[in-house]
Amino acid sequence: MILKPLSARYIKNNLAQRGLSQLAKIISPSGSTSRKSVKRNLFATTLCLLFATGNLSICQALPSEAKSSSQSSQKSAPAGTLLHPLIPKLDETTAVETPQVADKKNQFATPIHESLEYDINIKSPAGRAQESSGTGSPQMGAPEKAKADNLKPAPENISPELGKVDESSLTINEDTTLKGTIQIVADDTEYDQQKNTFLGTGNAVAIIAGQNSKLEADMILYDQNSELMDARGNVRIYRDGQVTTGSAFKFKVNSDEYLITNPDTEVQGTSIVARKAYGTDEGLNFKNGSMSMPKPIVLSSNIGYAPLSYQDELFDKRLHPDAYIPENSSFKFSARKMVYERYKDHDNLTVFGGRMMFGKLGVKLPKFTATVGQENNVVFPVTPYIGNNLMSGGLNLGPNFHRSLGKMGTLSYAPLIQFGGRQLTGTTTETKNLPGVGAQIGFQNKRLQAHLAYGSNSDLLIGDLKYKISRTARYQGGINRFMEDGLFGFRRARILSEFVDQRSTNKIPFLASLSFRTAAGWAQDNPQLINLTPEYAKLFNQTTSTKTVSAYRFSESISASSHPLFKIGNEKYGLSSNITGGLALRYYSTGDAMALAQIGPNFEAVADRFKFRVGYTQSAVRGESPFVFDQFIQGARSAYVAGGFRVSKYLTLGGSVGYNFIDKLAYSKSMTAAIGPQDFKLLLSRDFLTGNQRMGFDLIYGQQIPFNRLVLKGSPDHGQLGGI
């Protein structure tokens, strides 16, 4: 900062101040000075008398009219402290202490640094908070409304004889910090009397009393006339438990408005960088910046139907997402405006004018809300739907709308057009060449998953409900829906309602894993549900029965997998083998019971881009089930082959076949594909035995999200900043 040349009057007043200050130390009973110091102080006093000759009122009026000097040379004062002249004692009968009132609206979580606790403030006759001689940090002027007319100097406490100061005039009022008062501490401090500005340079720290806010910078300039604070260089702002850095900072004290240049702030692990940020006590408005997540965003659906060689990559990607972020992203996400409500646990980010860019191809996204931070729940507002609509049959096409609901929940609904589809009797509709209509609605979060669907061509209502009770226990229910059934695979009951507990351990000698599955519930059968395709219906013993059976069912199953019997090669070229087996027991309220035991070897081979598994299973079944849906269709002797081949980095193909040697029928037959670049894969699968087809995706995004404007709100503002 460049200061104007000092005037003769300023030099005169300044020397008078120093002389009076040194004289007070000489006559103070508690002070102790050396002979050399006494001579220097007497010289300063003489100068004061020379300048004050014929006008003693200057020295008398000095405490109430003069401003503090620039960088006092007293060694006893703390380094970097702006010193003020001595202040006459206030009239105790009229002076009223102003209690500290914390502004709840601007309450800051970051405490004031302990090094500033020695500051002691007093009120000047003009109502400004000033500092006692040689102690504490400077106290800048409070707003004009803080002035008190009743705070007037008491002339009778000032000795009429020059050079003699009444010791009682040094009394300090220790609790007079006014709301809005500014404290500045730095390595070097200067005060410009003409401009009424304070300048702190070198490790400068500013404190706003009543707000518990703190500002750090290389240089801080405070203009008391305009109440404008200007900080430059390595700016750090502590506010609401949040640290914001930047290159420059301007703050309007009386209006709580501020401007940050090149701001960089972190909120719940999310980093926000922009060119400028305009803020008030309500929040920050960032301009032309970008937002980075603390960890990459990973979105996926139907990953269980991906090619075999790609499933291992999906598993590793969820454990170590940073390792799978490509150097050059195949797509970029941007937003015209984002509103980040940091006080919310969920739905804290609202995006306006979002766009996904695949090269020059841009896909516009409507307004949507997501949860970001340490846990991400980013939901695309619209995705295409291609599939069976929860096994309602045929091919269903349409838009699938999604909406974030709750902390990690997603609500989805899709109007669909249905092509094809079989009725429960196994026949197609009379209007098989005409499309039908369908719909689906669903909700899912970390604990709950629920869906409901309908297709007019099949005239079938399908639904499911799964709820995670604990780490090992869950409830599952379904209507005409394929549900997981332990060693029996996936089976479709008319109605199923049961509780399932699954536990596993890897601490058994010679075993890689040992799992237990306990289930108990109620089920109702509809034999016609096996009529998905003629090939699927042949696997069951009953194909023409229409009898509906209801019963309670209890089942217990144990499955185990051994450590590799041998392992040759490495992850790129290798061969390994193990043994798997299981035992299942079932009891029904109808009095029926069934037992299943199976065991067999498995082989896995990897050859660069190619990976496959092959296994043989020997099974034994005793007893029978009253239901059709949970019959064992695998056969006493069976084998399976599953594989995948990475054609290129944009295409991976896979498939599987399971064959029943007793009935000479395939019990499973499917094909899968993963299409797209490394960070965005489209997953397609087709089960030829059941006619089931699914579409999924696997997406990872770890790049910055550019924006034109981002509003960071620290508290609800009723849309004032959000512009909603």
Instruction: Give the pLDDT confidence score for residue 542 in this predicted structure.
Output: 67
Instruction: Give the pLDDT confidence score for residue 495 in this predicted structure.
Output: 96
Instruction: Give the pLDDT confidence score for residue 590 in this predicted structure.
Output: 94
Instruction: Give the pLDDT confidence score for residue 392 in this predicted structure.
Output: 85
Contact by Cβ (8 Å): 250, 229: yes
Instruction: Give the pLDDT confidence score for residue 80 in this predicted structure.
Output: 39
pLDDT at 77 over 80: no
Q: Could you give phi then psi for residue 454, rounded to 5 degrees?
A: -150, 140
Mean pLDDT score, 349-360: 86
Q: How confident is the model at residue 271 (pLDDT cuts 50, 70, 90)?
A: confident
Instruction: Give the pLDDT confidence score for residue 144 in this predicted structure.
Output: 38
Residue with tokens 């695949």: 358
Range among 4-8, 162-166, 676-680 rated most confident:
676-680
Which residue type sits at 313?
Answer: E
Half-sphere exposure for 342 (CA within 13 Å, toward CB): 21
Mean pLDDT score, 272-294: 84
pLDDT at 449 over 90: yes
DSSP 359-420: TTEEEEE--EEEB-SSS-B---SEEEEEE-TTTTSSEEEEEEEEEE-SSS-EEEEEEEEEE-
Range among 58-67, 457-466, 710-719 rated most confident:
457-466
Q: pLDDT tens across 38-68, in order?
A: 444 444 444 444 444 444 333 333 333 333 3
Residues in the chain, overall count: 724
Mean pLDDT score, 243-268: 83
| CA distances, 421 to each of 453, 671, 696 (Å) | 14, 20, 21
pLDDT at 121 over 60: no
Mean pLDDT score, 384-403: 88
Q: pLDDT tens across 619-643, in order?
A: 999 999 999 999 999 999 999 999 9
More confident residue, 645 or 80: 645
Instruction: Give the pLDDT confidence score for residue 294 in this predicted structure.
Output: 82
pLDDT at 32 over 50: no
Q: How confident is the model at residue 282 (pLDDT cuts 50, 70, 90)?
A: low
More confident residue, 625 or 137: 625
Q: pLDDT tens across 293-327, in order?
A: 888 888 888 888 889 888 878 888 888 888 888 88
Contacts with 298 (C-beta within 8 Å, 6 or more apart), sequence order: 317, 318, 321, 376, 699, 700
Q: pLDDT tens across 213-228, in order?
A: 788 999 999 888 888 8
- Lowest mean pLDDT: which of 374-383, 505-514, 615-624, 641-650? 374-383
Q: How confident is the model at residue 461 (pLDDT cuts 50, 70, 90)?
A: very high
pLDDT at 335 over 60: yes
pLDDT at 83 over 70: no
Half-sphere exposure for 523 (CA within 13 Å, toward CB): 31
More confident residue, 641 or 543: 641
Q: How confident is the model at residue 284 (pLDDT cuts 50, 70, 90)?
A: confident
pLDDT at 13 over 90: no
More confident residue, 240 or 29: 240
Which residue type sits at 542?
Answer: Q
What residue ranges do the domains of the chain occupy?
67-262, 379-461
Instruction: Give the pLDDT confidence score for residue 518 in this predicted structure.
Output: 97
| CA distances, 434 to each of 395, 415, 426, 430 (Å) | 12, 17, 18, 9
* 519-550 CB burial, b ≥16 within 10 A, e <16: bebebbbbbbbbbbbeebbebeeeeeeeeebe
Contact by Cβ (8 Å): 602, 578: yes
Q: How confident is the model at residue 146 (pLDDT cuts 50, 70, 90)?
A: very low
Report the alpha-carbon distance of residue 367 to residue 357 in Å, rounded: 16
Instruction: Give the pLDDT confidence score for residue 5 in this predicted structure.
Output: 41
Give percent above pLDDT 90 in the chain: 33
pLDDT at 107 over 90: no
Q: How confident is the model at residue 76 (pLDDT cuts 50, 70, 90)?
A: very low
Instruction: Give the pLDDT confidence score for residue 644 in this predicted structure.
Output: 93
Q: pLDDT tens across 568-621, in order?
A: 998 889 999 999 999 999 999 999 999 999 999 999 999 989 999 999 999 999
Instruction: Give the pLDDT confidence score for residue 690 in this predicted structure.
Output: 87
Mean pLDDT score, 540-562: 87
Range among 178-187, 347-356, 486-495 rated most confident:
486-495
Contact by Cβ (8 Å): 28, 20: no
- Other C-beta atoms lying within 10 Å of the C-beta of residue 156: 11
Q: pLDDT tens across 398-434, in order?
A: 999 988 777 778 899 999 999 888 888 766 655 556 7
